Amino acid sequence: MSLFRIGWKIYADVQGDLPLIDFIPVFHRWIRERTFDGPLLDVADYSHVHHGPGVLLAAYDANYCMDVGHGRLGLMWYNKRAREESSGQALARGVRRVLEVASRLEQEPELKGRLRFRASPLLAFANDRLLAPNDEAGWAALRPDLDAVAARLYPEGHRLERDAEERERLAATVWTDSHHTLEQLITRA
């Protein structure tokens, strides 16, 4: 069975003051303007939750959020709907999506100059503990597809670091020592 409940997080650097609530009007405008393919449904403010999902933009097939999990601000995307695709295809589609949305957020007038996303590291995770438990078997099943996606993103080399904390969902951080722009990564994704 193909794993489709996967997600990605790209980490952000903030210049000056950027409260999470500043993302709310941007996300509401995206809903009004039908910015993405597929319906954008709602915005939820979780900025009061310590190390939580921050501000969430719910779409029909995925969720986007300015997440502050583990104390690190970043854009998180995770898929909610099955498609006829392999786990590798789902990972590739997801990383492309999070990179495209991060690039768009950097250009938003309300955020421009205050928000930059890093091309490394990226966090990939499986949001399905039944199909992808955080154990050696789950990691062995996910790693080849994740490694292939990372090799396309970072042709000069990369490394994967699995989060082995069993209470957490299966996740791995993708690192590179090379410098890349978001636009370079988008073309490779």
- Residue 175 has a pLDDT of 97
Average pLDDT, integer, range 99-122: 94
Give the tens place of pLDDT for each residue, 53-96: 999 999 999 999 999 998 999 999 999 988 888 999 999 999 99
Question: Which conformational region is residue 111 in: left (phi greater than 0), alpha (psi within -120 to 50 degrees), or beta?
Answer: alpha
Q: What percent of the chain has pLDDT above 70?
A: 99
Ranges of each domain in the chain: 6-188
- Is 1's pLDDT higher than 60? no
- Given the DSSP bridges, would you call strands 74-79 and 115-126 parallel, antiparallel or unpaired? unpaired
Average pLDDT, integer, range 11-22: 93
Average pLDDT, integer, range 107-125: 94
- Given the DSSP bridges, would you call strands 40-46 and 54-59 parallel, antiparallel or unpaired? antiparallel
- Residue 112 has a pLDDT of 83
- Is 108's pLDDT higher than 80? yes
Name the nearest CA neighbour of 63 among 5, 123, 103, 133: 5
Give the tens place of pLDDT for each residue, 154-189: 999 999 999 988 889 999 999 999 999 999 999 999
Distance separating alpha carbons of residues 8 and 164, to the nearest angstrom? 17
Distance separating alpha carbons of residues 186 and 149, to the nearest angstrom? 12
Distance separating alpha carbons of residues 124 and 78, to the nearest angstrom? 10
Average pLDDT, integer, range 2-18: 91
- Residue 141 has a pLDDT of 92
- Is 120's pLDDT higher than 60? yes
